[in-house]
């Protein structure tokens, strides 16, 4: 398996149709919760003071991660940073 | 409780006495594993290709986090970035 | 308690409806003054030459801070930087 | 009067003589506490995870601030950022 | 007195009504020349190749400087950097 | 499989013992050529004008990549940037 | 021959006519695949999580590369970084 | 005489009237070629992969350079960086 | 004539022989004051909180400025930024 | 042929043996002047206020440029930036 640290900063344009905005956010939530239930989207936190999140993904590979990220309903309105993670030698468990 | 996202980049000086280096790294490991066992140091990953880690701390407050970080044996050799995290509205559980 | 240093840079879009602009700024002022009276928004200064402020928040946790910041009427038009503070060992009083 | 926001990042060289280091830090503390008592060094906080502080100075002018900062025992080992502050229009009191 | 070094980068939106643009630039010139005559706006140079200036202000305090800068007709279209200056020990006169 | 784009900037300290330097560079070459022969280190180019390279690694996972990179004889003297790659939809073959 | 490493970050404006968008992307794909078949566009990877690619071009010269890049249908919507590459001394083959 | 190194990055807004765009580019070319013939605009190269140029100007002074640059038809759509150059001691001729 | 805005950040190495340090600083002061008397070094201010200055030079050309700056006794220990200035159209006098 | 724009910032370590320093600078000058005579090192200017140069190289390819740059006697003490140039469409001659 492959662990990735992903930061997503969301910038929804002000002039996006309100209904489109609402639907997109709702679809984003559903999309994310489904991946959380499957264990793929392993961690999801809000960064205090920002419309941004830190997420940890547990995927087969970078290919799968790109599919998931580029499929995010909010993807067109996001700045995304991806970092590959690996097991830390001091970690007490796995 | 308070969640913090911490990135630590380690730069141990080349001319540090080898024995001091070894002891410091060993004390760092023990220090970290004790905090992991207590649940304070909740997540610890190595960033691929870097002598760096991403950690998630679950502490009482920023005060406690500062105590923990400034008490790290490797603290003098670290660049540290701290970000406060909070619960994400799409998170399915807690 | 938790102390946070927050910098807010305000960028209100030029084409925002003037009435909306005025109301938002008025609500922002009221929102901020209420939090100042409660002691939560402990310090508030204008940065010379900028439509920006430096604020010090005294809150229960990062969770509460995020609620307050994301609830700011001007939040959609702000770049926000958050830094956790702790007591300085040389501080003569608290 | 003039308000200044000052960030100080301290980088004491590793090879500084331990006794010099100790004396300098002690003199820095005494120097700072005297200015705190006089109300000049109005606020002093530690940034969580950093050997850095955020300070608020209440001085006659930039001239006085420079005297104070360049007189800091740790001045040679500091990166310092200075920002002029002014009264925020939403501030409820002064 | 307080000396401040100010850099102003001007970005007038292309779609600003030409008449508004012309009036604003005219008011800016008058505003600046009045302050130059009073000695407050002590120096004003154009940076070669930029729609920017370097200015030196001689004011009572940061408060006054903020009043002057935020009152600039072009203020909404400016990126402004402010640096407090003080007397240099090698300066031959004052 | 997982594809990674890696940039390595090499900064060998001037005061490294010449013999150690020579051995390390020789071991680095052998280490790299072995991985090139196995197909793991798929591409290796020198950046014109820099003591740096761009490499493409074809590995099982981020874990394996970290093992390889942190095992590089020159690792202690390198700044390394890692980017996960995936198949481009316009790629004509694979 | 000359090898170039090129990073392309694509930012297609939201308000681009959907049909123009679709045609441009189709023409981009055809343009790229033709160059891939000729061996000029030697490598093309997607950066995980980004609407960006890393490409390796094998061209006669910088002149030819500029022709190719500035002729890209998506050129007006791209941030492009170009780096000249050369043969790495440790490369096992050519 | 004074030598200046100038980098110009051109960002013509997408919604500029096509005819205005064409005229402006034509006037820019004529303007530049006239200055090249006079020897003032001594060198002009395109940066590979960018709508940018590197130019060398041989002018009386910064004043003259500013007149030339701010008079460029494309000036409103340019990011410009200016660096003063001087004779290099190793230069074999002048 | 040519006006230049110069920022100088001074970083004197800690291990510089104290006598060399003192002499160099003294020679720097004499060097600067002579140029101030000649009107070449027209303005010299200390940046509050920094071992840095902002200077305005009034010289024949960039060539002369380079001679002056590279001849500064502290030149080897300085980061220097140079910006060409020109007359601002709103300036009331010259 | 291939044109490259190269910026070289020189940082000779203070503790380099003075004789080594002098020889290296002499060899650098001879090396550069030979390449200037051959037309390869086509332009060489000093950046005002910096121990840096802007050079234009006219070489067969990036490979040749890397040979030349990495063969510079001062190469170990340089930060180098390389940009590929191409003919500008407005250039009046070649």
- Judge whether residue I2 has pLDDT over 80: yes
Q: Write the ipTM.
A: 0.96
- Judge whether residue D1 has pLDDT over 90: no
Amino acid E94: pLDDT? 59
Amino acid F94: pLDDT? 58
- Smallest Cβ–Cβ distance between I85 and the set E47, E86, E91 belongs to E47
Per-residue pLDDT of chain G (94 residues; tens, 9 = 90+): 899 999 999 999 999 999 999 999 999 999 999 999 999 999 999 999 999 999 999 999 999 999 999 999 999 999 999 999 999 999 997 5
**E69 in reach of chain C (CB within 8 A):** yes
Name the CA radius of gyration of chain I, rounded: 14
Percent of chain D beyond pLDDT 70? 99
Q: What is the mean pLDDT of residues J32-39?
A: 98
Q: What is the mean pLDDT of residues C19-34?
A: 98
Rounded Cα distance between I44 and I37, Å, is: 12
Amino acid F1: pLDDT? 82
CA dihedral of residues C55, C58, C60, C65 (deg, nearest 10): -10
Instruction: Tell me if D46 and B66 make a contact (CB, 8 A cut-off).
Output: yes
User: In CATH, what number is assigned to the domain containing residue D60?
Assistant: 3.30.70.1060
Helix (H) or strand (E) holding E67: helix E62-70
Task: Give Cα J32 to chain centroid, integer Å.
Answer: 7
Apex CA G66: angle with CA G60 and CA G72, to 5°? 115
**E16 in reach of chain I (CB within 8 A):** no
- A93 band by pLDDT with thresholds 50, 70 and 90: confident
Q: How many other β-carbons are positioned within 10 Å of the β-carbon of residue H19?
A: 8
Strands E2-10, E78-87: pairing kind: antiparallel
* CA-closest candidate to residue C8, choices C69, C59, C85, C58: C69
The alpha carbon of residue I17 is apart from the nearest alpha carbon of chain E, in Å, by: 22
Nearest CA in chain I to H65: I86
Provide the β-strand partners of residue D4: D57, D84
Which domain range does residue H47 map to? 2-85
Residue C3 region, left (φ>0) first, then alpha (ψ -120 to 50), else beta? beta
Cα C18 to Cα A91, C13, E11, G94: the distances in Å are: 55, 10, 21, 65
3-state class (DSSP) for residue G12: coil
How long, in residues, is chain D?
A: 94
Instruction: Tell me if F6 and B46 make a contact (CB, 8 A cut-off).
Output: no
How long, in residues, is chain J?
A: 94
Nearest CA in chain H to J29: H90
CA dihedral of residues H83, H89, H93, I4 (deg, nearest 10): 30
Task: Give Cα J45 to chain centroid, integer Å.
Answer: 10
The alpha carbon of residue C27 is apart from the nearest alpha carbon of chain B, in Å, by: 25
Amino acid H1: pLDDT? 82
Whether E94 maps to a domain, the answer reads no
3-state class (DSSP) for residue A26: helix
Percent of chain E beyond pLDDT 90? 97
Q: DSSP of D35-55, one letter per residue? A: HHHTTSEEEEEEETTSSEEEE
Provide the β-strand partners of residue B80: B8
Whether D24 maps to a domain, the answer reads yes
Residue G13 with chain H: CB contacts under 8 Å: 14
pLDDT tens, position by position, J54-80: 999 999 999 999 999 999 999 999 999
Rounded Cα distance between H84 and I8, Å, is: 16
The alpha carbon of residue E77 is apart from the nearest alpha carbon of chain D, in Å, by: 21
Tally of structural domains, chain E: 1
Nearest CA in chain D to C53: D88
Nearest CA in chain B to C85: B62
Are J45 and H85 in contact, with CB atoms under 8 Å apart? Answer: yes
Q: What is the mean pLDDT of residues A16-41?
A: 98
- Judge whether residue D94 has pLDDT over 70: no
Residue E43 with chain I: CB contacts under 8 Å: 43, 56
Backbone torsions φ then ψ of I30, nearest 5 degrees: -65, -45
- Judge whether residue C94 has pLDDT over 70: no
- Smallest Cβ–Cβ distance between H80 and the set E14, E46, E49 belongs to E49
The residues, any chain, with a CB within 8 Å of residue C34's CB and separated by 6 or more, are none
Rounded Cα distance between C7 and D54, Å, is: 12
Whether J30 maps to a domain, the answer reads yes
Amino acid G27: pLDDT? 98
Residue A13 with chain G: CB contacts under 8 Å: 14
The alpha carbon of residue D59 is apart from the nearest alpha carbon of chain C, in Å, by: 15
Are I6 and I12 in contact, with CB atoms under 8 Å apart? Answer: no
- F27 band by pLDDT with thresholds 50, 70 and 90: very high
Rounded Cα distance between B28 and B73, Å, is: 5
**G6 in reach of chain H (CB within 8 A):** yes
Instruction: Answer whether F touches I (≥3 Cβ pairs < 8 Å).
Output: no
Whether A93 maps to a domain, the answer reads no
Backbone torsions φ then ψ of H41, nearest 5 degrees: -90, 90
**Going along C31-93, which residue ranges are E strands?**
41-47, 52-59, 78-87
DSSP state of G40: S
- I1 band by pLDDT with thresholds 50, 70 and 90: confident
Whether J93 maps to a domain, the answer reads no
Cα G24 to Cα G36, G48, G68: the distances in Å are: 18, 22, 16
- Smallest Cβ–Cβ distance between D86 and the set E63, E83, E85 belongs to E63
**C85 in reach of chain B (CB within 8 A):** yes
Are J39 and H93 in contact, with CB atoms under 8 Å apart? Answer: no
Rounded Cα distance between H5 and D80, Å, is: 32
Place of tokens 């123009």: G20
Q: Look at the alpha carbons of G1, G6, G12, G18 in this order and tell me if their dihedral is positive or negative.
A: positive
Whether D93 maps to a domain, the answer reads no
Task: Name residues of chain B where pLDDT drops below 70.
Answer: 94
Instruction: Answer whether B touches F (≥3 Cβ pairs < 8 Å).
Output: yes
DSSP state of I75: G
Residue I62 with chain J: CB contacts under 8 Å: 48
| Mean pLDDT taken over chain E | 97
pLDDT tens, position by position, H9-63: 999 999 999 999 999 999 999 999 999 999 999 999 999 999 999 999 999 999 9
3-state class (DSSP) for residue F33: helix
Amino acid B94: pLDDT? 58
Are F6 and F57 in contact, with CB atoms under 8 Å apart? Answer: yes
- E93 band by pLDDT with thresholds 50, 70 and 90: confident
- E63 band by pLDDT with thresholds 50, 70 and 90: very high
**H13 in reach of chain G (CB within 8 A):** no
Amino acid J55: pLDDT? 98
How long, in residues, is chain C?
A: 94
- C47 band by pLDDT with thresholds 50, 70 and 90: very high
**Range list of H helices, D1-94:** 18-37, 62-70
- A94 band by pLDDT with thresholds 50, 70 and 90: low
Rounded Cα distance between D68 and D64, Å, is: 6
Cα F24 to Cα E49, F30, F77: the distances in Å are: 49, 10, 11
Amino acid E26: pLDDT? 98
Place of tokens 């992307």: G25
**I1 in reach of chain D (CB within 8 A):** no
pLDDT tens, position by position, I13-70: 999 999 999 999 999 999 999 999 999 999 999 999 999 999 999 999 999 999 999 9
Amino acid D93: pLDDT? 77
Percent of chain C beyond pLDDT 70? 99
Rounded Cα distance between F26 and B51, Å, is: 23
Apex CA D61: angle with CA E67 and CA C39, to 5°? 70
Backbone torsions φ then ψ of I5, nearest 5 degrees: -95, 125
Amino acid G29: pLDDT? 98
pLDDT tens, position by position, A36-62: 999 999 999 999 999 999 999 999 999
3-state class (DSSP) for residue H92: coil
Put simply, the chain G residues between 37 and 66 with a CB less than 8 A from any chain A CB are 46, 48-51
**C83 in reach of chain A (CB within 8 A):** no
The residues, any chain, with a CB within 8 Å of residue G13's CB and separated by 6 or more, are G77, H14
Whether F23 maps to a domain, the answer reads yes
Residue of E10, E11, E49 best to disrupt the H interface, most CBs of H under 10 A: E49
Whether F40 maps to a domain, the answer reads yes
Instruction: Tell me if A1 and F65 make a contact (CB, 8 A cut-off).
Output: no
Q: What is the mean pLDDT of residues C57-64?
A: 97
Name the CA radius of gyration of chain G, rounded: 14
């Amino acid at each position: 398996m492959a662990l990735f640290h992903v930061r997503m900063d969301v910038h929804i344009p002000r002039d996006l149709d309100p209904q489109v905005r609402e639907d997109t956010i709702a679809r984003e939530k559903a999309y994310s919760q489904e991946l959380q239930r499957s264990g793929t989207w392993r961690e999801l936190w809000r960064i205090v003071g920002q419309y941004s999140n830190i997420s940890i993904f547990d995927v087969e590979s970078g290919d799968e991660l790109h599919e998931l990220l580029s499929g995010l309903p909010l993807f067109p309105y996001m700045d995304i940073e991806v970092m590959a993670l690996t097991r830390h030698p001091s970690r007490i468990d796995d």
